Amino acid sequence: MTRTRPADPSTNRSKSTGGGGGTTVMRVIVPLQGVVQGRGGLVLGSLIPCALFYFLQLYLKRHRSNPNPPTPPPSPESESEQAGQLVELPVLPRSLSRALLSPRGAGGPVYVSGRANSVLKGGESPYDVGLRKVAEDPYDELGNQNGVIQLGLDENKLSLDLVGDWLVDNAKDAILGGDELGISGIVCYQPLDGLMELKVAVAGFMSQVMGKSVFFDPSQIVLTAGATPAIEILSFCLADSGNAFLVPAPYYPGLDRDVKWRTGVEIIPVPCRSADKFNLSITALDRAFNQAKKRGLKVRGIIISNPSNPVGSLYSRESLYNLLDFAREKNIHIISNEIFSGSMHGSEEFVSMAEIVESEDLDRNRVHIVYGLSKDLSLPGFRAGAIYSYNKNVLAAAKKLTRFSSISSPSQRLLISMLSDTKFIRKFIDTSRERLRAMYLKFVTGLNQLGIECTKSNGGFSCWADMSGLIRSYSEKGEFELWDRLLNVAKLNVTPGSSCHCIEPGWFRFCFTTLTEKDIPVVMERIRKISETCKSHS
Amino acid sequence: MRLIVPLQGVVQGRGGLILGSLIPCALYYCLQLYLKRRRPSKPDPPSPSQSSSNLAELPRTLSRSSLSTRGSMGRVRISSRVSWVAKPNDSPYYIGLDRASEDPYDRVDNPDGVIQLGLSENRLCLDLIEKWVSANLMESIVGTEGGHFSISGIAAYQPFDGMTELKVAMASFMSQIMGRSVSFDPSQIVLTSGATPAVEILSFCLADHGNAFLVPTPYYPGFDRDMRWRTGVELIPVHCRSTDNFTLNITVLDQAYSQARKRGVKVQGVLISNPSNPVGNLLSREMLCSLLDFAQEKNIHIISDEIFAGSMYGSEEFVSMAEIVDSEDFEKSRVHIIYGLSKDLSIPGFRVGVLYSYNESVLAAAKKLTRFSPISSLTQRLIISMLSDTRFIQEYLQINKKRVKDLYDLFVAGLQQLGINCAKSSAGLYCWADMSGLIRSYGEKGELELWDKLLNTAKINVTPGSACHCIEPGWFRCCFTTLTPEDVPVVIDRIRKVTETIKSSS
């Protein structure tokens, strides 16, 4: 072994001031002899860690909010030779005595957190701008004929009259009666993950909506204040900050917020193409997975929406099996958002992920279903969402996290009676589907007459329209221009494909369920004017 | 001379050898070890590690047929940040709550059940609420008879941060509660589904992962979950002592701040509860001013949780942080107030919380984050009409105050007969009792033994001071507002039995 003790600093100084490089080399002790033995060990074992350490220190120094004054070096006369070292800085005494700072004056603005800033920085996406414009100047057949027509919000107003009638007849009994607890049943603290009666009722409703053969176990349900927090809680539970989910694109614009904002999780879009009718291909999924791995990202799961939002297509039984196989192969989770499963207007049959998982003895721990009453019961204002999971740990954690997203008890009581009124529910589902189908057909026919084709869709409140023939440049810019004209000239708020991370430009989502039948000609007329100006220009 | 000096520059100084080379090398080595461990078990190359350049490239066997499909594989993992959230509760606060809800006391049906004194819930005025709700429910939801009923007002999407009407009603309710001189601006209100998410949203907005808040102890056990769980923010306890009647001392606060800085932790704010939970005392006007001075000096935030502001039974006057900020020339943007209707209007089941902030960035971010914690519009409609019914509110506040005070007097007198004294308090739904005379060993262990005996032998769920991070052992929080006056003798009797066994055995 060489010497392992550092040289005495005084001799060190005297020699280094007088001597050249050679003496310095002699005196230096090899710190890493063991590592240096092997080939390449010198570089890998010592230079790299030292360099890393150096940069780490630099980094830490930068990020100190209030840097301490540098301690004066012990031997300025020798060290000053070293180039680039500023040692002559006058050392300021720290002046933190309270008298020196003018209290109640300017102390500089107080900082908010970096993550709050990133929430704010995102600015307004076209999706937000559109919603804001509608809120500012909503169309009204009588009161405001030049207002903006809402086609950007997933909300079903077609069957609200049924809900309204039911409320008028039953609200009081639902909230106050029915339970021997009386008032304490609604005003006192209740389990934050939802009342057991409501879980039972929601499980029954889900079975009814998703096909009778599927059974949902109430004990696997966690209720949240809307599907939005349900997705966020799953994102918290399944992935750590810096991990990622694969999401087939186009996808619902709000998903970026729900999954990413507070959790630090990333979304990797898996592009689907019009040539495949925007169906997911496992090859594309696999490619995205491998690319993410190469970038060093850990993929923790896949998030699908079935029926898909915005396209409205369904996953076939076969593709669900393939997805499960893929998830098993990579040992990742699947979140299946089935919030539109009761809002079907096509002829195809909806297959829930629950049915696939139940029918065979698959390992279920990786499957999580998101549901809610906002769409299928047209009650978004009630904020009732659900996580249905087969994973005990996820359920246990999610139950505790509902302290941040619980449903208020009067709404829970009301929903319990509404869902238990089987006669009403059956009538509601039938009527709602019928009206949805009629509206969908009318709207799509209207678009077709203008030469705008939609993808074949079976569920949901929107149609996914191909307007690439109307955009001037085949790019996101062209799409954005058309969206802007639709919003500001034609006064129609639609969602552009780019907001949904669609890879092909020129696609738009039209939510038609906030309209009445009388509105359709108005919408079509407005689109026609725009398409004519587009055509006359080109 | 074949050896190359890797670290010449660093080694020059004194101590440079160790600091500059040994430490990084050791760290690097450990990092590699760690990374190796964490890798999902990859098969190691079979050949010896030297001369590995001509290893035969193994073909990757990821073809799907070779994996036993639909069979067993490694269990899929949940995220590490919630793996400890998923574990069973270990805090006595939550264990006690679970026990009390599994086997609740009922005078007639279950006289041997656990009596709940651990949940700060006010059940003294449920009759008033019930009367109002049954008289006004339909009107507030559906509208007045003959008027135009719009189902979209309830069923459709509403702003996530609360309806403007509710914000207006809430602002005037808060002024009424917190003293007429304070006016609250509805545009500075963000409504959330309970105060719990309001606290969490502030924690997200004011601090980043790894930052910290200073919190005077003893503090509400739920803060650990609300402030820390998902945000990765730390809470640094600032200890208050019984000799000061558990009031905050700025010197101690300053010490805690400096210590945190020394540890390299960035302190982003102070979190206080006023009236304090669990002690029930108030922060004086001077104390609030010095707190603001302190925050200004350090350039940090203040979160003031004033959720018990309307549940006063003492003679002292409550001073809201809003009043101080309004009346004096402080920089307002660092002040944030938490409020809610769960305590003062005894409707925790409705889940209505308030975040009141003077900081525009915080308000803007919080509004966006309410998408995860909105209040159901049905409930909002109900509360709008409840808060707008000024006659009812006035009557309610008066009666509630009297009932809380009466029960407080009864309960504290009962404890005093057993020789148990409570800290001086003016507000809240609880009292903070000194049972240090009853614990066998003066430490956390002794306190938990007593808590266990109270829960399992006497069947009383109280919150031990250690769950509130109290530095002195032997203090317990007893929430008395879930009781009826008839229950008080039962509780006192159960405690008496425990004290007797303790005294006889010692």
- Higher pLDDT: A360 or B33? It is A360
Q: Which residue of B has its CA nearest to A324?
A: B70
Confidence class of residue A375 from pLDDT cuts 50, 70 and 90? very high
CB contact under 8 A, A407 and B351: yes
Average pLDDT rounded to a whole number, residues A275-301: 95
A55 pLDDT band, cuts 50/70/90, is low
Interface mutation vs chain B, best among A35, A165, A188, A511, most B CBs within 10 Å: A188
- What CATH number does domain A181-421 carry, 3.40.640.10, 3.10.20.600, 3.20.20.70, 3.40.50.800? 3.40.640.10
CATH of B90-125+394-505, one of 3.30.70.141, 3.40.50.300, 3.90.1150.10, 3.40.50.11540: 3.90.1150.10
- Tokens standing for B395? 């009557």
pLDDT of A74 higher than 90:
no
**Residue B231, min C-alpha distance to chain A (Å):** 8
> What digits encode the pLDDT tens for the residues B109-137?
999 999 999 999 999 999 999 999 989 98
Residues of chain A with CATH 3.40.640.10: 181-421
Q: Is position B305 annotated as part of the catalytic site?
A: yes
CB of A386 closer than 8 Å to CB of A372: yes
Pick the CATH number of A122-158+426-536 from 3.30.1340.10, 3.40.50.300, 3.90.1150.10, 3.20.20.10: 3.90.1150.10
Stretch among A33-37, A160-164, A423-427, B269-273 having the lowest mean pLDDT: A33-37
Residues of B in contact with A515 (CB under 8 A): none
* Confidence band, pLDDT 50/70/90 cuts, at residue A88: very low
At B268 the pLDDT is 96
Q: What pLDDT, in 10s, does the model give residues A418-457?
A: 999 999 999 999 999 999 999 999 999 999 999 999 999 9
**Catalytic residue flag (residue B396):** no
Portion 298-317 of B in contact with A at CB < 8 A: 299-301
Q: How many residues does chain B have?
A: 506
The pLDDT value given to residue B80? 86
Are the beta carbons of B206 and A116 separated by less than 8 Å?
Answer: yes
Crossing angle for the helix pair A114-121 and B195-206, to the nearest 10 degrees: 90
Confidence of residue A178 (pLDDT cuts 50, 70, 90): low
Residue B322 near residue B182 (C-beta atoms within 8 A)? yes
pLDDT digits (tens, 9 = 90+) for A400-416: 999 999 999 999 999 99
pLDDT at res. A179: 55
Output the pLDDT for position A293: 94
Q: Is B94 a catalytic residue?
A: no
Q: Which of A131, A167, A187, A461 to mutate to test the interface with B (most CBs of B within 10 A)?
A: A187
Give the start-to-end residue ranges of the domains of chain B: 90-125+394-505, 139-389
Minimal Cα–Cα distance from B65 to chain A, Å?
10
Which of B3, B296, B377 comes nearest A103 by C-beta? B296
Q: Do A401 and B211 lie within an 8 Å CB cutoff?
A: no
CA distance A272 to A329: 21
Q: Which of B376, B380, B384, B429 to mutate to test the interface with A (most CBs of A within 10 A)?
A: B376
At A494-508, the pLDDT tens digits run: 999 999 999 999 999
Q: How far, in Å, are B11, B212, B364, B395, B401 from residue B306 at the CA level?
A: 57, 21, 22, 22, 16
Tell me what the mean pLDDT of segment A99-104 comes to. 40
Kindly give the parts of chain B with pLDDT less than 70.
1-74, 143-149, 180, 506
Q: What value does the mean pLDDT of chain A take? A: 82
Q: Which part of chain A has CATH 3.90.1150.10?
A: 122-158+426-536
Work out the pLDDT band at A190, boundaries 50, 70, 90: confident
Contact A172 B349 (CB under 8 A): no
Predicted confidence at residue B481, as pLDDT, reads 94
Optimal mutation site among B333, B378, B429, interface A, most CBs of chain A within 10 A = B378
| Residue from B220, B313, B356, B396 carrying the catalytic annotation | B220
pLDDT of residue A31: 47
How close does chain A come to B246, measured CA to CA in Å? 25
- CATH of segment(s) B139-389: 3.40.640.10
- B21 has a chain A CB within 8 A of its CB: yes
pLDDT on residue B144: 54
* Whole-number Å distance between alpha carbons of B250 and B293: 10
Judged by a CB distance cut-off of 8 A, whether residue B154 touches chain A is yes
Name the token pair of B108. 């007639």
Contact A220, A388 (CB under 8 A): yes
**pLDDT of res. A502:** 95
What is the per-residue burial (b if ≥16 Cβ within 10 Å, else e) of A163-182?
bbebbeebbbebbbebbeeb
Of A60-64, A202-206, B147-151, least confident by mean pLDDT is: A60-64
Is B6 at the interface with chain A, CB within 8 A?
A: yes
Is the pLDDT reported for residue A60 higher than 50?
yes
Q: Are B445 and B455 in contact, with CB atoms under 8 Å apart?
A: no
Q: Is B486 on the interface with A (CB under 8 A)?
A: no
Res B11: pLDDT = 45
Strand residue runs (E) in A155-237: 221-224
* Distance in angstroms (rounded) separating the CA atoms of residues B496 and B415: 9
Largest Cα–Cα separation, chain B: 102
Question: Out of B6, B78, B204, whose CB is closest to A391?
Answer: B78
Write the pLDDT tens digit of every residue in A110-158: 888 888 888 888 667 888 899 889 989 999 888 899 999 999 998 899 9
d(Cα A351, Cα A313) in Å, to the nearest integer? 12
At A15 the pLDDT is 40
Q: Measured between beta carbons, which residues in chain B are less than 8 angstroms from residue A296?
A: none
Of A352, A321, A356, A359, the closest CA to residue A336 belongs to A352
Q: Is B493 a catalytic residue?
A: no
At B43, list the tokens: 């098969």
| Token pair in block for residue A66 | 């209030």
pLDDT recorded at residue B322:
94
Is residue A339 pLDDT above 70, yes or no? yes
The answer on pLDDT for A492 being more than 70 is yes
Sign for the pseudo-dihedral over CA of B242, B248, B253, B256: positive
* CA torsion, ordered B398, B399, B403, B406, to nearest 10 deg: 60
